[in-house]
Structure formats: C-alpha cells, structure tokens
C-alpha cells in the first residue's frame, strides 16, 4: 500500500506531458474536528494518488488546507472523494484564474498541529465565531464606506505585487506575526469602524476574523473565498476589479495576473516588475522580485556573492550550504541588505505587457520549422535543455521557443553543448543545452527560424 510519493519532480513532469491532459489548479479549506489526522491523511492519499492529484495538503485536528492540481477529466471523481466526508459536502473549490500543468509536481499530504500556523494558545478562543462573509459586489460597496478599514491578511511578499487600494498591508513574513500587530494598530477602532479583511483563498481570514472578534472588534467582515473567488465573481458579473496587480500563489507560478497594473519594482534595478523568483544559489534561495534584464545579468541570483557560488563545482557548493536551514528566511526580501530596491513602497502604476512576447512574434510573419521540444531548465545555471526531433540547429541560428506559459520567445544560439559536449551543430536525437535568460517548460516547442 503506497502512502507516499515515489517519483522525482522531473519524472512526474514527463508523465504529465506524456499524458497530454489539461490539468486544473485549485484550492480549498475546511475547519472541522478531525479525530485522527493521520488516518484522514492516509485515506486522502490513497484516494487521490490513483487520480493523478498533485499538490500540497495540510491536515490537523482542526481541519484541512489544500492547494493542488488534477487532470480536468478527473474533477468529478475527485469531488466525490472529498464529499464522502460530511464536513466537506458542498465545499467551495477555488479554481485558479490561470492553469499550469506543472503547478505541482508531487502529492504531499502532511499532518500538522494546525492548518494555519497562528501562534495562538488561548483556551477561550473560539475559532468558529467568525466574521460576516461578503461577496465581490458587497465587498466593493463596503470599500467605499468611509467607516471601513481594509486589512490585507497576507504577508509582505504577497501584498507587494497586488492589493486592494488603500488597504493596510502589514510588513510581516508570517500570518502569526500579523495578528497582534493589526490588533495593536487598530485598537482604538474596535467599536466605531468596520474591519474588512481579505486574503488569497479565505482560510486566513476565517481564523483572523474570529481572533479579532475575540479581541473585542464588533464589526468584522471578510471577503468570501478570498481574492481567487473575488476575481471569479468580478469576471462572471462584469464588476470592476478593485484588486490591482497580481495575486501571489504558493506554487511554482508564484503569481496570477488579475489586472495589468504593475505595483512593484525589481529589487535590483528599481524598474517596474512583479515577477518573483528564488535565488539560483540553492544555499540562499531568497524569494525576491527580478526583471528579465537583471535575471540575465545576475544569472538569476540576488547578489554577486551568490553568482560566484553558483560557478563553483557542485561539491564545493554542497559544502557551503551544508547545515544551512533557511526556512522562512527565504521570504525576508524586505530585510535583505543585498537588494537595493527592497522597501515597501507605493510607486506610480506601470502596465504589464501581458501579451508583448506573443504579439511581437506574431506581428511579423516569420517562417519557422519545428525542430524539437524542451526537456529541462537548470534554474541555478540559467540553461535550457532541448531534445532535437527533426532537422538540425547550429550556433548563430535564430530560434523561437513557444509554450502556453512561456509565450513566444526569440533567441539566438551562442555557445551550446550537444550531448554534454561543446559543439556547433545539433541534429535529430541529440540533446542540446544553451544559456537562456528565462525559464522554459517541458511542454515548450523549439522552432528554427527559416531565412
């Protein structure tokens, strides 16, 4: 009886591509009294593994918190597996705004003390005494009420790339930090103001609204289903999105675009940018915002010191990072001294060129020939690897890399390695690698531009 994931991320990615099925990314949560979290965890794994469900799921005595993806054609089977539990009948599933087949690459179901780490140890606290849920239109209406105080219950790296205008955005790394800070900051308004909260999918507001009511706040409201459900309702009902920018998500995408406003800046050069990345130095792995130019110049690293480290032999890198436990330190981009433009600020809004890569490639008619497909991206070194299926490519060739998430990117081949050896030409059945200033996916196609 298999109760744990046995495949590597790369093996799973190849299986996803070979299956050729569209996958849905979704999240849900439920507070409930679970007598045996371990038994519940094992039941979920056994039910979901055969359905090719992948994701990160936490279970505890207080309930379940899940972010996952699954093949679209298994959706109703999956729904049946959760609705067999009474406390999850009719549960709202927050479907992602945009889907990526590789958003998760393994199924991890973990037993935790709590499904949301809140740092609370008060026996008199009742987590079921929650605030009033508001749908998108009701939330928009209350935003215009002068007696409303809007609070973002997410962490600083989330609110940095997208938020509701005029919201209080605590400069915190974890949810547990935000509760006492917000209570102290708003202590004079427990009776005279309406406290309006939002988060990604609603789970943090469930706990926070109960906490603030426990602390004496009388008028507590929360966005039902969080930003994810708000966005769905805004689109379905033709409402104005009062949320601007991107919604940070906890999978490899690191963000879903809600509007074309860019509300943040590259932490290295200060140019408008809202693309999060992790430092290519695995011993650092700092989460920060980096534009394409800086990604190319700094080779995906947050500092020159990290650039030096990634060029060391792998054995030397392992020695350097041995014993390092980063944990939540990777989120402390606001505290990192190596990043020049790292403070929380309110810049003039720039507009994201959401389709610029694609439209530029399509604006000029070019002849292209399919030659291969992407098979791996080495983030640490910034190298893309492709399998040549047809024809050949040579150094100096203009190439088009095309994919659903990658878009359409034009590159010129410089130095390349064929079957791990430096070469000037790659032919069918060769594996070729070369430097790229952007990430590729396994589903990407490689074309040679014909002259």
List active site positions. 199
- Identify the bridge partners of residue 277 per DSSP, sorted by sequence position: 288
3-state secondary structure the chain: CCCCCCCCHHHHHHHHHHHCCCEEEEEEEEECCCCCHHHHHHHHHHHHHHHCCEEEEEEECCEEEEEEEEEHHHHHHHHHHHHCCHHHCCCCCEECCCCCCCCCCCEEEEECCCCCCCCCCCCCCCCCCCCEEECHHHHHHHHCCCCEEEEECCCHHHHCCEEECCCECCCCCCHHHHHHHHHHHCHHHCCCCEEEEECCCCHHHHHHHHHHHHCCCCCEEEECCHHHHHHHHHHHHCCCCCEEEEECCCCCCCCEECCCEECCECCCCCCECCCEEECCCCCCCCEEECCHHHHHHCCCCCCHHHHHHHCCCHHHHHHHHCCCCCHHHHHHHHHCCCCCCCCCCCCCCEECCCCHHHHHHHHCCCEEEEEEEEEEEECCCCEEEEEECCCEEECCCEEEEEECCCEEEEEECCCEEECCEEECEEECCCEEEEECCCCCCCCCEEEEEEC
């Amino acid at each position: 009886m298999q109760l744990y994931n046995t495949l590597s991320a790369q093996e799973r990615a190849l299986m996803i591509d070979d299956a050729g099925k569209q996958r849905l990314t979704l999240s849900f949560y439920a507070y409930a009294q679970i007598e045996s979290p371990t038994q519940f965890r094992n039941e979920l794994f056994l039910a979901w593994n055969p359905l090719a469900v992948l994701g990160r799921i936490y279970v505890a005595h207080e309930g379940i918190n899940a972010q996952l993806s699954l093949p679209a054609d298994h959706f109703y089977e999956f729904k049946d597996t959760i609705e067999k539990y009474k406390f999850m009948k009719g549960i709202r599933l927050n479907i992602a705004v945009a889907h990526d087949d590789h958003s998760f690459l393994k199924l991890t179901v973990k037993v935790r003390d709590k499904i949301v780490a809140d740092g609370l140890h008060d026996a008199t606290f009742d987590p079921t005494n929650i605030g009033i849920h508001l749908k998108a239109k009701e939330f928009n209406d209350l935003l215009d009420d002068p007696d409303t105080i809007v609070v973002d219950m997410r962490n600083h790296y989330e609110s940095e790339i997208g938020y509701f205008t005029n919201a209080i955005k605590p400069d915190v790394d974890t949810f547990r930090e935000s509760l006492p800070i917000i209570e102290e900051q708003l202590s004079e308004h427990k009776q005279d103001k309406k406290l309006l909260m939002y988060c990604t999918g609603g789970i943090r507001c469930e706990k926070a609204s109960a906490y603030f009511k426990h602390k004496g706040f009388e008028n507590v409201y929360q966005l039902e289903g969080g930003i994810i459900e708000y966005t769905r309702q805004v689109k379905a009902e033709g409402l104005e999105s009062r949320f601007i920018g991107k919604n940070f998500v906890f999978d490899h995408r690191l963000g879903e675009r809600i509007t074309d406003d860019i509300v943040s800046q590259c932490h290295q050069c200060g140019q408008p940018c809202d693309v999060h990345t992790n430092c290519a130095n695995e011993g650092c792995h700092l989460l920060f915002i980096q534009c394409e130019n800086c990604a190319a110049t700094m080779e995906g690293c947050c500092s020159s010191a990290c650039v030096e480290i990634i060029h060391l032999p792998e054995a030397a890198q392992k020695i350097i990072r041995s014993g390092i436990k980063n944990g939540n330190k990777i989120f402390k981009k606001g505290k990192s001294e190596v990043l020049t433009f790292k403070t929380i600020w309110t810049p003039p809004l720039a507009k994201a060129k959401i389709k610029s890569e694609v439209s530029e490639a399509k604006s000029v008619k070019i002849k292209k020939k399919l030659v291969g497909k992407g098979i791996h991206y080495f983030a640490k070194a910034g190298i893309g690897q492709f399998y040549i299926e047809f024809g050949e490519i040579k150094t100096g060739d203009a190439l088009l890399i095309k994919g659903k998430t990658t878009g359409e990117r034009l590159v010129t081949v410089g130095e390349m390695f064929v079957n791990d050896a430096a070469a000037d030409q790659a032919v069918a059945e060769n594996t070729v690698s070369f430097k790229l200033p952007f990430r590729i996916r396994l589903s990407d196609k490689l074309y040679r531009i014909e002259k």
